[in-house]
A and B are shown apart, each in its own frame.
Chain A
């Protein structure tokens, strides 16, 4: 390989290339004076600096393609087109590998921690809000309840321990909101299809309940249907209760938006599609938009039974 890390001295090449152009309406100008929208990935990179080349491939932009191999030779970035392709090959693989690692770093185990932390924050915030409400009721005439009231109290300019506790509630509730935003961002990377079908938060909860995307992908649809309803399921298995119709998937609009008589069917149909989505996500990772429509059609048909 002619192009392992080369000395910094090669920066000379970049200086030679310096040209002065008026910055066009794209605003940004490369340091070598080339209009950003006209520049190739190599325009601002030291030959041999694979990391910078990778950054340029990931972040660069251009409106149209140009004869980059020829331009790279003309600019002195490489000596020949063969060398150009060698460098591009190396930099593109480096960039893609790094990005894949970053995106997959949002892995299912990290997501499980995040969604559990989100639920813990919500639970503790509610618990403390109840304490605040009770305490406030003993001292304040028009005391209210809930997290909203704790937020109101937290605004008071007061050293009172009650106000301080209310501030903890507010902070915990903010933490819950920011964890939720994180889960909403991260889930589509971990499980694009499941996230699209279930919504990011429910998708993350299902992955957490199963213990990971792989174990969710290996569960039959009937198990997915009752994940989160273990207590009811075991009561049923001991013969003390009817079989549960749904677990956490009850939070999905396809289930709770369907009239009670048809909810069992809706839950079964949803669980079936979610199980397929989890398998596609685990084994292929490609987005299959047709799953969304198949689900929408199934639910539509189930709901239409009422009007018959």
Chain B
């Protein structure tokens, strides 16, 4: 088990884990809508050195881009308006300016972006659903906007096959509450890349939940900045990587305003000889962001030999006048002592493994707060485990 826990990190003890020294500040990254402004990445690039570059090729290649975007199915409860936004049509492009080639491709490849708008003061109790079905190559850009003091939940479902480059641009209105759940339930051969970026308004509450279970390669950048003081951003993630899967999540919280809060918690399980996961968690507390309170955590549970989890928390602090800043990262092997304890009470190996894995994810799932998603996830995890038991039985025969 490897662990880092620097809950007491302060301005003069700011540091970087995992021997990764970023070039310059995370906040000074190049941005552009022009795909060609981003070079084709190589494994030597810091931002791609943990990535499944070969698998991601179709979402890094502009030539493959279709003109017809992606197939959506949108279910919007009453009071929610949906429409489209052309390239350059505000608010599209006001919050999400691509930071990497995949995001630029997703943006440039989507002529008409889906625009979901929750008007001011609306309390939408029923989740808004956007189902995206992959095809050979698809691109999407979705703009989700809440008006002042609105409350809403959006569930994005990704299913099917193919290569999908998709962005989600989120404008969380002042004092509003928005939760986005992005479910990656792709077929085994699908490839998915993109950026989900939010600007969290004054006193607004934003929660983003990334659930990556399917797909051959997934590379999601989930990022947030603030549009005013008092904002709160919570980025939660759950992934389960089997053999042949490479699931990568790159979170970034840009504390660019005072008195804002953020919490990042990603947990993953890996089962199978070639299972891979990557979590890069960047937090930047700018000089202006006095009174910031932030914590980020990544935990990985490695069920079998051969699986590999990379976990790199980065905390950059430009002011000492903060409430708190901490991070924790731990990657542990499946605990034989836990198994022995449970089995010594008569619980079978399979059932014990299920208890431990369910238990590992339980606190995270409880934080999602969308009952149907929570219940569905426990079922999905059970299915992943059943699949694992079958493979495991074959391997040990």
Task: Specify whether A and B are partners.
Answer: no
